Structure 1
Amino acid sequence: MRDPLATRKKTVPRSRRRAVWVVALSVLGAVLPPPAASAATVDTNASYVLVNRNSGKVLDVYGRSTSEGARIAQYARNDGAWQQWQFVDSGGGYYRIRSRHSNRVLSFPSTADRAGLVQTTDTGLTGQQFRLADSPGGYVRLLNRAGGKAVDVLDSSTADGAQVIQWPDTGGANQQWQLVRLGADTTPPTTPGNPRTSNLTCTRVTFSWSASADDVAVAFYDVYHDGQLMTSVPGTALSADLTVVPGATWGLYVNARDAAGNVSQASSTVTITVPQCQADTQPPTTPTGVTATASGTSVTVRWSPATDNIGVTGYEVLRDGVQVGSTSGAGATSFTDSGLASNTRYEYRVRARDAQANRSTPSTAVAVTTGGSCATALCSVTRVTTETDLPWGLATLPGGQVLFGRRDTFELVRLDPATGAKTVVGRVPNAAGTDGEGGVLGIALASDFTADPWVYVMHTSSTDNRVVRIRYTDGALAGAPQVLLTGIPRNKYHNGGRLRFGPDGKLYVATGDGQNGQWAQDRDNLAGKVLRIDRDGAVPSDNPFGTPVWSYGHRNPQGLAFDSQGRLWEQEFGNSVMDETNLIVRGGNYGWPACEGTTGDCDEPGFVAPKLTQPVADASCSGIAVVRDALYIACLRGARLYRAEISGESLTNVQQHLNGTYGRLRTVEPSADGGLWLTTSTRGDKDSIANNSRESILKVELGR
């Protein structure tokens, strides 16, 4: 079975650590640039992965078996030893192909059509010998000496686990293999230029760009909107036809990727606003049957569904004539308004909206009076201050004042909760934006901050993401930063960024995959990980792999929090299906990119399953905090705060609060008095432009 900890380790200097991965793609018939080896240039001292031209997947010892006769299949590339092959010269232009995992060689036990490829002990038989016949585009066909037939993926399958057989040599794409030499290419392509769109309709758009350059060749272009992968196309293509959503506003960009898996920095963003497919000026009907019920200082509003000539897409809830929340979907007909004043009368109305922002007239008002005390989880929410730049990282200073970072101005600010007064305490040197979500990200303070006053910061630079610490003296940052950890890959999105000190005194760091999912599985790369370091940047002796890596297989984690038992919880962005909340274990593999939440190839032995998943449309959550063993999750796209109770290793009694009340929520942190600090991220959070936001820092009083 597949051992998740058996991934090949490389001895590459940190400054040159690059992944050597290829994302599994179907590129039927595509002509890709020449690979690292051909029939004429194969190196018998090197190790290769063999990538099928039709499926984009690689030759793999099924089940990671070392047994005699184990079958050979194709599988998504992970560069494990069970996917690494060496070519042993047999003379006469033939080679035996030996597994680095089992030390056995590829073999056909007969010359019959459809005979399955297996691994056997190397005896030099002709069924174990293969000739490399060149194919157009730098591919090779593997022709067996015994029967003269080609190594072929059965039925041209693109599925993981598909059987590899022999078949008469037809030269088809499913018989062509790219020999990618491991460790031979560490230079990423240049950034694609001149991104542009054309032919925009309500369902499609053509996105184009100028070619990147690479020291070997560009193999693929990966097209994203707002951090979500939409499609990948061959390196010979300079455009992609994309499916879009009517009414959506998206930011499109593209990365270049070479055959070794090195990924460029992202292009600039092209913003599109997709038109609706049909004109609609008719508003929905007015919601009826509105009721409001108080429970302490919270009110639950319910109503009957409205109708529309095309379709209701959601509802807006008004308190005393001002919108305080919203729901999405025609069936979402309830809303809980939390953190209200006690013994106070409120009036609620509800209006329906459709996809083209037509709104019904508000419903008849219903009145309700709150109770005399808080009987729910959230008792009150107070806006302490507003911000023109994005408040991202936040930590509580001794005495109860707050230190937070402005992501795009690179400043740290001290906030007095009693007065709302703010003081800039300094600017983080060498910080840089990414025209996306980079900048000054997480901050953390150790428990003995008073005696040893260092402020720990994770920030993006012009070359990487890094962790530094800066002395805090007389209420200001003092001196040059001490750099603790460098070489964390950066990109427009997927920079991770959260810092958290554990009860063991170690600093934990959440890093994104740098928009290269395969880096998340490479334990010698710092991307897509939870890292653990000493306060001076040293690697603790009990880390599982002798590196800063504590867990891996993460896409873009931005939430870290410890519970009362000292266990680490993590919040992670999914791509388009599921976000996930994980309980982090030492050395654990959390499955990305093979597995997103509980979707994809999640049955891989050793993958650690999430404790909670949330649909991306209702979540896209960033920060988490634990107070009295309740986990609070701040969500951006979902514009809500989840609360879940920690029960053993499970999360139970999951509730939603502040749904749409304050917009996109970025950071949640415990406050000194047992409540929460909460920051918004509603404008300007997908660029690096300073002071183009309109945000709030909120103080939340908690109840039960």
Structure 2
Amino acid sequence: MGILGAAPAYAGESATLISADSQRCLDIARGSQEPRTPAIIFDCHGGANQQWEFTAAGELRTFDGARCLDIRGASTQPQAVVQSYPCHGGANQKWTLRPDRTIINPASGLCLTVKGGETANATGIDTWRCEATAHQQWIVGDTEPPPDDTEAPTPPSGLAISALTCRSATLKWEASTDNVGVAYYDIYRDGQALGTVNASTLTAQLALTAGASWGIYVNARDAAGNVSQASTSLQVQVPQCQADTQPPSVPTGLRGTVAGTTVTLNWTASTDNVAVTAYDIYRNSIAVGASGTLGYTDTGLSANTTYQYAVAARDAQGNVSPRSAAVSLTSGNACTDVICSTARVAQDTDIPWGLVALPNGTVLYSRRDAKDIIALNPATGAKKNLGVIPNVQGTDGEGGLLGLAIAPGFPASNPWLYIYHTSPTDNRIVRVRYVNGTLDMASLEVLLKGIGRNKYHNGGRLRFGPDGKLYATTGDAQNGAYAQDVNHLSGKVLRLNANGTPPPDNPFGNYVWSYGHRNPQGLAFDSLGRLWEQEFGDSQDETNLIVKGGNYGWPNCEGVISRSGTGCATTGYIAPKYTYRNTEASCSGIAVVRNSLYVACLLGKRLYRSEISGDRLVNVRQFFVGTYDRLRTVEPTIDGNLWMTNSDAAGDKDSIPNNTDTAIYKVTLKP
């Protein structure tokens, strides 16, 4: 029997339909012919309720033709229940089995899906966006399953934009090639998903945001789920919907209060012919932050010091009002808040990514695009370049030289510096000896390779735990199927012995410690030895408390947002401890100091602080909103405070070395 179409030549024949993921059969529950009985998967037994016939009319009939596979309520929305029902020829009873073995309902454009990607008997069936994942693929009973296909398509090329307006545009590209055949193209902007189209088209209609600057790219995907490396990004500057040259009115009523070394400002709203979008805050005539509300908190000031503050209003097209009348405020003589002061210790022209504080006070940090390691003396600001790490390659996105870690007992009993980086073929973990203040490049060892890479979603944090094991975060390489495969290294938190071997007590007999992650980065242990993790989402970021063998839901569940099947209600999925909107977060690094969790955020340009209470995060506060640009990394200092690094927008999404203006700060905390 061949691959079925809408009107197969052998209409009238019947066969089982086997889920490629579970090897269980499409079944009508309990063998009942009652209308509205749900479809499920069940162990294959060949009964009449597991025999299916594709008719010339495009129906899927069972019970010797007495019932049709039907979408309840003729719904065209995702997650609609699939059931048996008397045949009536409606659009909700039409199905096509495609070459990639998905079964699509043409009216809705959605595919027959095993709920939540589950594999247990009696798991229900619904409809979902066609992604050609294993729980959407069906094998006709007497056909051979397709041969294993592990070869990814080539990257798409030739991206071009036409019909560009402030709200929409047409994107076109040139086809990828594949050893079997491309099935889908996935469209992204700066790591965020915009949509998916079938391989039969090489164009997509984009919904845009007026005034935005986007890097748009495309990945190709085959029926086996192999994802190509990304195309080259196409930079698109979206025009505004209307010309606007009129600035907002001057803010009025600026006033402030002082509590120790913290100043709180408030003011009266400005007006604008279109809309005020933000307020820029000036301290001593220097811009120190921005606010989308009518208030701002300036933290970490010097004690007993007088500051002059002013505020200016800004609209969406960059028109800025004159500054308000200034207000003079004098800080107190002691720190009364949780953050006491912030000092810039060093500047850089590349992106500081990983950072470790050595026992002697030296700070080592990686420069992502320059691919080298810097030793910093915080007392003097003096820097020493320890050399370029070999075989590092950027991805024109988020890849390059990433996380660093040192083991307990460094350097006496374990003189190794552990490094996570992107190579030309994968992401990997290596180590190199740190001897007398230098790196012995001849000693470099590759501990683990084969971690999926792509333009975005590379993960990259390293952290040694109190158990002496090395923990690492890995992104899903923009292939969500990897995240749910416990035999794949991508979309995981990994756990390694210090020598790179997998510990025998890992839950799956390999390196995987937890799974179901999209793009995890931050890692930190609390005073009880528990592991906290920070993860980038597509529209919602999350902080997780990691447990051995835990499944955190991606790609079916993102934070608390259901995306596929039973989504976040799926049995066994572990919910995050806190979620954030991307615009206020996109957080990369975390640190725990005195049982408080600090989270550094890029797009949100802020530092979150939460108190750890049991297994909850409470008293969540925000600091430095807009003050230090995009915050990437926080690490504990050896004296109980924080190191913090930033990353400006200039070179954040490319692999060009030394094209940024960044800094390393020491944040002094209240004892």
Bin for the TM-score computed over the shorter chain:
0.7 to 0.9
Aligned equivalents of 1:287 and 1:691: distance in 2?
A: 38
Q: Alpha-carbon deviation of 1:297?
A: 1.1
Structure-1 separation of matches of 2:519 and 2:26 = 39
Give the aligned partner of residue 432 of structure 1: 393
Deviation at 1:254, TM superposition (A): 0.5
**Partner residue of 1:346 out of 280, 286, 307:** 307
- The amino acid across from 2:469 in the alignment is K
Q: Which residue of 1 aligns with 2:84?
A: 165
Secondary structure of 2:569's partner?
A: coil
Moved more, 95-104 or 661-670: 95-104
Task: Summarize deviations over 1:101-144 as a string: whole Å, max 9, x none.
Answer: 69677358466776654567876554443345699xxxx86443
Partners in 2 of 1:250 and 1:122 — Cα distance? 49
Distance in 2 (CA, whole Å) between partners of 1:226 and 1:615 is: 16
The Cα shift of 1:656 comes to 1.0
Give the secondary structure class of the aligned counterpart of 1:95: coil
Say whether the 8 Å CA contact 2:585–2:602 is kept in structure 1: yes
Indicate yes or no: 2:512 matched with 1:590: no
1:314 is paired with a residue of what secondary structure?
strand
Q: Distance in 2 between matches of 1:149 and 1:424?
A: 73
Residues 153 and 174 of structure 1 are in contact (CA less than 8 Å); yes or no, is this contact kept in structure 2?
A: no
- In the other structure, the counterpart of 1:631 is 597
Cα distance in 2 for partners of 1:247, 1:559 equals 31
Are 1:175 and 2:95 matched, yes or no? Answer: yes
Matched, 1:559 2:478: no
Residues 1:320 and 2:284 are matched in the alignment: yes
> Secondary structure of the residue that 2:588 maps to in structure 1?
strand
Kindly indicate whether residue 177 of structure 2 is the aligned counterpart of residue 228 of structure 1.
Answer: no
- Matches of residues 432-451 of structure 1 in structure 2 within 5 Å? 432-451=393-412
* Residue in structure 1 matched with residue 27 of structure 2 by the alignment: 106
Residue of structure 2 in register with 1:410 after alignment: 371
> Which residue of 594, 616, 622 corresponds with 1:656?
622
Take 2:492 and 2:365, find their aligned partners in 1: how far apart are those partners? 24
Deviates most, 165-174 or 343-352: 165-174
Q: CA, structure 1 residues 584+459, in 2 after alignment: closer, same or farther (shift >3 Å)?
A: same
What residue number does 1:146 align with?
Answer: 64
Cα 1:125/1:584, change in 2 over 3 Å: closer
Is 1:130 aligned to 2:48, yes or no? no
Aligned with residue 579 of structure 1, among 527, 541, 545: 541
Secondary structure in 1 matching 2:611: strand
Alpha carbons of structure 1 residues 122 and 488: separation in structure 2 relative to 1, 3 Å: closer
Looking at structure 2, the residues matched to 564 and 188 of structure 1 have their Cα atoms a distance apart, in angstroms, of 43
2:194 partner SS: strand
Tell me if structure 2 keeps the 8 A contact 1:117–1:166: no
> How big is each residue's C-alpha offset from its partner over 1:545-587, in whole Å with a ceiling of 9 and x where there is no partner?
11111111111111000011101111111112x1111111111
8 Å Cα contact 1:429/1:481 also seen in 2: no
Pairing 1:676–2:642 present:
yes
What do residues 629-667 of structure 1 show as CA deviations (whole Å, max 9, x unaligned)? 111110101111111111111111111111111100101
Give the aligned partner of residue 492 of structure 2.
Answer: 529
What one-letter code is carried by the residue in structure 1 that aligns with 2:315?
D
CA apart distance, 1:41:
6.3
Shift in CA distance, 471/112, structure 1 to aligned 2, threshold 3 Å:
same
Letter in 2 for 1:672: I
Partner amino acid, structure 1, of 2:285: G
- Residues 646 and 196 (structure 1 numbering): CA distance in 2 closer, same or farther, change over 3 Å? same
Give the conservation status (yes or no) of the 8 Å contact 1:286–1:363.
Answer: yes
Q: Secondary structure at the match of 1:602?
A: helix
Shift of 1:184: 2.3
Query: Is the 1:141–1:171 Cα contact (8 Å) retained in structure 2?
Result: no
Quote the residue 1:621 is aligned against: 587
How many percent identity over aligned positions? 52
Q: Deviations over 1:13-47 (max 9, x none)?
A: xxxxxxxxxxxxxxxxxxxxxxxxxx3269xxxxx
Corresponding residue for residue 508 of structure 1: 471
Change (3 A) 1:563 1:118: closer
Describe how 1:289-438 pairs up with structure 2 within 5 A.
Answer: 289-328=253-292, 332-438=293-399
Task: Report the equivalent of 2:15.
Answer: 95
Which residue identity is paired with 1:684? Answer: G
Question: Within 5 A, what are the aligned runs for 1:691-702?
Answer: 691-702=658-669
Alpha-carbon distance, 1:176 to partner: 2.0
Question: In the alignment, residue 320 of structure 1 is paired with which amino acid?
Answer: N
**Alignment length (residue pairs):** 611
Question: 3-state DSSP class of the match of 1:519?
Answer: helix
TM-score (norm 2): 0.87
Q: How far has the Cα of 1:152 moved from its partner?
A: 3.8
Once residues 25 and 241 of structure 2 are traced to their aligned partners in structure 1, the CA distance between those partners, rounded to angstroms, is 59
- The SS at the match of 1:229 is strand
Counterparts of 1:240 and 1:590, CA distance in 2: 31
CA distance in 2 between partners of 1:120 and 1:382 (Å)? 63
Q: Which amino acid aligns with 2:303?
A: S
The 1:150–1:471 alpha-carbon spacing in structure 2 relative to 1, beyond 3 Å, is same
Q: Quote how far apart the aligned CAs of 1:474 are.
A: 2.4
CA distance, structure 1, for counterparts of residue 426 and residue 221 of structure 2: 18
Over the residues paired in the alignment, what is the CA RMSD in angstroms?
2.4
For the structure 1 residues 367 and 258, does the alpha-carbon distance in structure 2 shift closer, same or farther, using more than 3 Å as the test? same
Q: Classify 1:213/1:383 alpha carbon distance in 2 versus 1 (closer, same or farther; 3 Å).
A: same
Q: Is the 8 A contact 1:98 1:106 kept in 2?
A: no
Give, in angstroms, the shift of residue 95 of structure 1.
2.8
Aligned CA distance change for structure 1 residues 335 and 156 (closer, same or farther; 3 Å): closer
| Post-superposition offset of 1:420 | 0.8
Report the counterpart of residue 450 of structure 2 in structure 1: 487
Assess, with a 3 A threshold, how the Cα gap between structure 1 residues 422 and 182 changes in structure 2: closer, same or farther. Answer: farther
Paired residue secondary structure (2:417): strand
Give 2:482's aligned residue: 519
Using a 3 Å threshold, how does the CA distance of structure 1 residues 169 and 237 change in structure 2: closer, same or farther?
A: farther
Q: Residue 3 of structure 2 contacts residue 97 of structure 2 at CA under 8 Å; is this kept in 1?
A: no
1:454-465 equivalent positions in 2, closer than 5 A? 454-465=416-427
The aligned amino acid for 2:246 is: Q
Distance 1:118 1:591 in 2: 21
Q: Normalising by structure 1, what TM-score?
A: 0.83
State which of 433, 458, 477 in structure 2 corresponds to 1:471. 433
Question: What is the alpha-carbon distance in structure 2 between the residues aligned to residue 470 and residue 697 of structure 1?
Answer: 24
**Structure 1 runs (4+) greater than 6 angstroms displaced:** 102-105, 110-113, 119-123
1:252 aligns with 2:216: yes
CA contact (8 A) 1:506 1:532 kept: yes
Q: What is the identity, as a one-letter code, of the residue corresponding to 2:424?
A: S
For the residues of structure 1 that align with 2:434 and 2:654, how far apart are their CA atoms?
29
Decide which of 139, 152, 169 is 1:188's aligned counterpart: 152
CA contact (8 A) 1:189 1:215 kept: yes
The whole-number CA distance in structure 2 between the counterparts of 1:379 and 1:159 is 50
Aligned match of 2:205 in 205, 224, 241?
241
User: Would you say the 8 A contact 1:204–1:244 is kept in 2?
Assistant: yes
Q: Which ranges in structure 2 are unaligned for 5 or more consecutive residues? A: 7-11, 102-136, 138-144
CA distance in 1, matches of 2:318, 2:484: 43
Q: 1:385 to 1:106 in 2, by over 3 A?
A: same
**What is the rounded CA distance, in whole Å, between the counterparts of 2:43 and 2:302 in structure 1?**
77
Q: Which runs of 5+ in 1 are unaligned?
A: 1-38, 43-51, 54-91
